[in-house]
Amino acid sequence: MPKEARQIYKTNELPFLLRLVAPFNKRIGLPYNITAYTSAHAAKLVLLIPALAVFGAANALFTGRLRLERAAAPRSIGTGN
């Protein structure tokens, strides 16, 4: 018997996250495999979201810095650039 099935069989209830997410996912029409994946990989997903936010902030800072450098750069007149 798989370890996940054994846990449900012994405790007679679903794991905490699966118990929370499953009704919501069913209401919006998501298939069960997405619910099961969310429950199995919750720790990875929780860590992934802040990491993506940090990368997005770093990208925004870099883009803003480039725009400031381009705006401050002297422009030559009559060279065609």
Run of H or E residues at 66: helix 42-72
Are the C-beta atoms of residues 17 and 42 closer than 8 Å to each other? Answer: yes
Token pair, residue 62, equals 């870099």
Q: What local confidence, expressed as pLDDT, does residue 30 receive?
A: 83
Name the 3-class secondary structure at 48. Answer: helix
Tens digit of each residue's pLDDT (9 = 90 or more) over 13-42: 777 777 887 888 889 888 888 877 877 787
CA 70 to centroid of chain Cα atoms: 32
Instruction: Please state the rounded mean pLDDT for residues 62-76.
Output: 76
- What does pTM read for this prediction? 0.38
Q: Alpha-carbon distance 13 to 37, whole Å?
A: 18
Q: What percent of the chain has pLDDT over 70?
A: 81
